[in-house]
Amino acid sequence: MKVLVPVKRVVDYNVKVRVKTDGSGVDIANVKMSMNPFDEIALEEAMRLKESGKVTEVVAVSCGVTQCQETLRTGMAIGADRGILVETTAELEPLAVAKLLKALADKEQPQLIILGKQAIDDDSNQTGQMLAAMLGWPQATFASKVVLEDGKVTVTREVDGGLETLALTLPAIITTDLRLNEPRYVTLPNIMKAKKKPLEVVKPEDLGVDVSARLKTLKVVEPAKRSAGIKVPDVATLVAKLRNEAKVI
């Protein structure tokens, strides 16, 4: 059984994001980049399924610039058997990524695709759902528990009212939530082994996919700074300020 795990290269979650002075986007010059945390959780889950004997091969996939190879090598150090990079300098939107992943799924024929529910840079939360629609596969989003057995996958997902459990027939798509697992620490021996694992590089044209942008970014600005809080002497003053100044009641 083959599992495909898309992984995205994003600004590291510990880095404070800075907006370019011209407002055209986020400044990533000399900024530490790493694997999207949600995708890291997806890869960890795929590895646990493989270690339990229910999966035979895990393939990590990334779409983007040449430096995404570093992200794939990290994925292979975690345990992925091989990597595929769809190399392009175009700014990829969720729809374009979903189209690329569909083309790869048609080529690789995986029984399961596990990906993070969203990326921490654009927070779109769209790619998994779009991919499921394009492939016509069942999907379970925001997974907090995954059980694979007898050709079916049972997914417990987090919803507003609590937990919901879905049973999907394979092939299927799962998007992962933060509480699914705790990703493992990448060891130096595994980093060295990852350098010898196969990494295939293809272009969007090779897959017959048009990745031209459908959206145009007009301007990127930082969120407004929060004003400092104040202390009020009594409840009456608090209510008055909420009504007259904040206008929330």
Extents of the domains making up the chain: 2-246
The residue assigned the tokens 């100044």 is 245
Confidence of residue 127 (pLDDT cuts 50, 70, 90): very high
236, with CB counted inside 10 A (0-12, 13-18, 19+), is exposed
Give the pLDDT score at 138: 95
> pLDDT, tens digit, for every residue of 61-115?
999 999 999 999 999 999 999 999 999 988 899 999 999 999 999 999 999 999 9
- Report the alpha-carbon distance of residue 195 to residue 42 in Å, rounded: 21
| Mean pLDDT on 213-225 | 86
pTM: 0.84
CATH number listed for the domain at residues 2-246: 3.40.50.620
> Which residues, at least 6 apart from 227, have a Cβ–Cβ distance to it below 8 Å?
none
Residue type (1 letter), 10 = V
Is the model more confident about 41 or about 225? 41
The residue assigned the tokens 């079916």 is 152
Q: Name the region of 167 (left: φ>0; alpha: ψ -120 to 50; beta: rest).
A: beta
Give the pLDDT score at 224: 82
Quote the mean pLDDT of the chain.
91
| 3-state SS class at 235 | helix
